[in-house]
A and B are shown apart, each in its own frame.
Chain A
Amino acid sequence: MISPETSPPRSSSQSPRSPPAAPFLSISVTDPVKLGNGVQAYISYRVITRTNLPEFQGPEKIVIRRYSDFVWLHDRLAEKYKGIFIPPLPEKSAVEKFRFSTEFIEMRRQALDIFINRIASHPELKQSEDLRTFLQEDEETMERARSQETGIFKKPADLIQIFKDVQTKVSDVVLGKEKPVEETDPEYEKLKHYIFGLEDHLAETQKQAFRLVKRHRELGQSLSDFGKAMKLLGACEGNSLGKVFSELGAKSELLSIKLQKEAHNLLMNFEEPLKDYVRAVQSIKVTFADRANAFRQHCELAETTKLKEINLDKLNLMRSDKVREAEMEYRELKAESEQATRRFETIVRLMNEEIVRFQEQKTADMGLAFHQFAKGQAKLANDIADAWRSVLPKIEACSVSSPHG
């Protein structure tokens, strides 16, 4: 845990007698810029770190990072902090054409910002050295670190494939298809069942939310076309009736714009949080796999150690000269076994803490997303009512059956 700052902060704006500032670590991912050409083109982001923590190089640091740097950080954390639900990354876009659209870039930037800040606010993950490397090292050092990756996570493209493999492996391992050795904890079973079911339900709601965004855009487009047609029709009619058509057309076009805006709002503040939830659940499934592996290792090693112990006893009785060697092997194995057991128990402990945090965080996130969604819809509906209502006075101004040429 980070201890509160005891010496006065370097910032000169604070007088020496003011109380020590609370520790903070705040990061922004901003200013996406397209670099490179053709197939090699990519987006780079400005990552600004503001902190008063002593582990960092200063109160503010700005570095340039790209998506694969975020992937590197994610994978390092996943390797080192088994048992913790690593915050999920946004997907790499499959469709080439979409890769540089304004909307996609904005969605990704927002997701990366959320990702890095979640790490920064996680009690364990925020202490990671890899995080500090990511936030402070210059671009060359970063690139070297990335290419040094000896693990199987080399390129972002691989990640998708690996992830897919992991997904299937996770299902197999977690659902006990591959190995007969698995935990029998009923509570854990319930949790596993819950997480798998949750992913399906969430994916469905996210899919519908995405379609809803599209529908808003389509309605906006048709209102725009309708408005134009009404205006033209108004030009055919004369006088006051023509004015009504004209006004109706104008309002229709106005509403079209509002609908496009709401579609964007829906996408960023409702659909994305839902997608984020899905990703988070998928990340939990990875932790399940880690736990299952750790359990398997712990069991296997315990088993092997026991056999070695029996063998050692046998050798002792026989007063064989292999005893010393066997004893050394036994001691090594026993240490490994104890390590594996500790690893497994750590994962179990961490997971129990994580799941509570996760649920609470998710409830807050979704609650906010629901609130934004409802607010947007309510405002849109009111705007629509207002716009149409404003045309009614013009209709009253039209007398019924007045002769028109």
Chain B
Amino acid sequence: MMDPDTGFFASKSPAVRDEMESLDLSDATAPSSLPSFLEPPSYADVVLKSTFEPQNAVSTPGSGSYPPRAAASDYLRIVVSDPETVQEAANSLVPGGNTYVTYPITTWVRAAGHGGRSEFCVRRRFRDVVTLAARLAEAYRGYFIPQRPDKSVVDGQVMQKHEFAEQRRWELEKYLRRLAEHPVIGRSDELRVFLQAQGKLPLPAATDVASRMLDGAVRLPKQLFGDAAAGRVAPEDVVQPAKEGRDLLRIFKELKQAVANDWGGVKPLVVEEDREFLERKEKMQVLEQQLCTASQQAEALVKAQQDIGETMGEMGLAFIKLTKFETEEAIFSSQKTLSADAKCVATAAVKASRLYRELNAQTVKHLDTLHEYLGVILAVQIAFSDRTSALLTAQTLMTDLATLHAKVEKLEVASSKIFGGDRSGLRKVEELNEAIRVTEDAKSCALGEYERIKENNRNELERLNREKHDDFLSMLKGFLINQVEYSEKVAIAWAAVVEETCGYARESN
């Protein structure tokens, strides 16, 4: 697991690192402060400076270079502090009680429009984060919603408890900041409530239709047909995506529809747009693949850079020990020369090792963008599937309508053949017409939802392309500038040794 602060894998030899740190290199110069092009742009105002401290600047892609994104947010700054364990003393049947972890979250907002207050402090547990994510997913279908941290430890390695807590805290902070930066979600009530409401989080844990009724699977037809006893269901509720295990019947129907679509049974709504959409989907998949590979190779590169720096340092140390030994045991003057030469090499090696280490910390920050965009693509895929399922819902309803109309026709034909009218038949037709009206409403709703989601997709895609372009550019620029800067410094360190030892080259020639 990468240490987020230094970007390093657990070092094999921390003792060596300490040894190197304590070395007194008489001509060692601390790395100079960053050149001007590595600091935040000069137009960064106070707002930016307070939002993005050096170690927090990595939390969002490109955040260090593009203040407009952060500056547009209502939230100046969000900080998640170290987690605390809380004991739930009341109503605990088990002695010792129920313990869980809470994270203190402090938010600073722009003063205006938040009841005059500018700082909020709340306590949230991870469960609350899951709830927030679920509410956002429902309310903002079609948007590229930043993904929340995972529930369980995904890492293959065994993590220490405090490491796990730190990683979660850091991921949580990143997540909230990304939400705050999103042009739409950053203004949402859900986020505001999460960050500002004191006490327990007042967001419902689940809102799907079925949980408000009795077992939804059986009730669904009545929902659609407006069974008075069961209570009317607003058409908008119908357009919420079917939840597994609850809206079984609906899922089954939509599945039938999907199959019918695929087999060309019912024509999909608008063919041209679908094709364009499918193209975009495919492009997204290709991008994901390449990003995955790139992210892996970036990690391997960082590891290789770290290794070479470490070995260089260890070799430098070995030479220093040799130098000390030679100096102590010197019998001949040639030994003193050799000793001095060895020390020269050792100094440069240790210096180079330190430079490699610093370079690597920077490299990690830049190349992390690749990894972050994998998360973004996940959000995109979810948004795309929102669209697909909305379309499916609309199509299902249209098929239902067609079926209902067909039934009405059949009944009317049959009724007209009966002398003296068919009271029971007429009643049935009335019922069916009522159902048709309800379904029509639902269909309009569903189509409206579909259009809304399509629009969201479109806008978000534009935003994504813009931001991705900028973030990638920033990443590449940062990476390159870092490499150039540190390589030049390493070259200078070795050039000094070349100068010192040039006499030997002349001799051998």
Interface residues of A, Cβ cutoff 8 Å to B: 190-191, 193-194, 197-198, 201-202, 204-205, 207-209, 211-212, 215-216, 218-219, 221-223, 225-226, 228-230, 232-233, 235-237, 241, 244-245, 248, 355-356, 359-360, 362-364, 366-368, 370-371, 373-375, 377-378, 381-382, 384-385, 388-389, 391-392, 395, 398, 400-405
Contacts and interface: CB of A to CB of B under 8 A. Distances in A.
B87 interface: no
Contact of A205 (B315, B488, B490): B315
B322 interface: yes
A355 B329 CA distance: 14
A140 to B, nearest CB: 38
Contact of A370 (B286, B332, B341): B341
A230 B366 CA distance: 14
Contacts of A367: 337-338, 341, 501, 503-504
B315 to A, nearest CB: 4
**Which one of B312, B314, B326, B484 has the highest number of Cβ atoms from chain A below 10 Å of its Cβ?**
B484
A395 B480 contact: yes
B293 interface: yes
B414 interface: no
Interface string B320-354: 01100110010110110110011011001000100
B504 A222 contact: no
Given A221-B304, A229-B290, A232-B294, 10 more contacts: A225-B300, A233-B294, A237-B469, A241-B473, A359-B334, A374-B494, A378-B495, A395-B473, A395-B480, A403-B462
Contacts of B477: 392, 395
15 contacts: A204-B322, A208-B315, A212-B312, A215-B307, A226-B297, A229-B296, A229-B298, A237-B472, A244-B473, A360-B334, A363-B335, A367-B504, A370-B341, A378-B495, A378-B498
B466 interface: yes
Contacts of A403: 462, 465-466
B54 to A, nearest CB: 23
A225 B490 CA distance: 24
**Which one of A207, A356, A375 has the highest number of Cβ atoms from chain B below 10 Å of its Cβ?**
A375
A142 B44 CA distance: 81
B479 to A, nearest CB: 8
Nearest to A223: B301
A378 B469 contact: no
B312 A385 contact: no
B341 A366 contact: yes
B466 A248 contact: no
Given A366-B341, A374-B494, A388-B480, A229 B293 contact: yes
Those 5 A-B pairs whose CB atoms lie nearest each other, nearest first: A208-B315, A374-B497, A381-B491, A367-B504, A378-B494
B325 A382 contact: no
A368 B488 contact: no
A181 to B, nearest CB: 25
Interface in B341-375: 341-342, 344-345, 348, 352
B287 interface: yes
A370 B344 contact: yes
A187 to B, nearest CB: 8
A222 B301 contact: yes
B494 A377 contact: yes
B484 A370 contact: no
B167 to A, nearest CB: 25
Contact of A193 (B291, B300, B329, B352): B329
B102 interface: no
B230 interface: no
B505 interface: yes
A381 B312 CA distance: 14
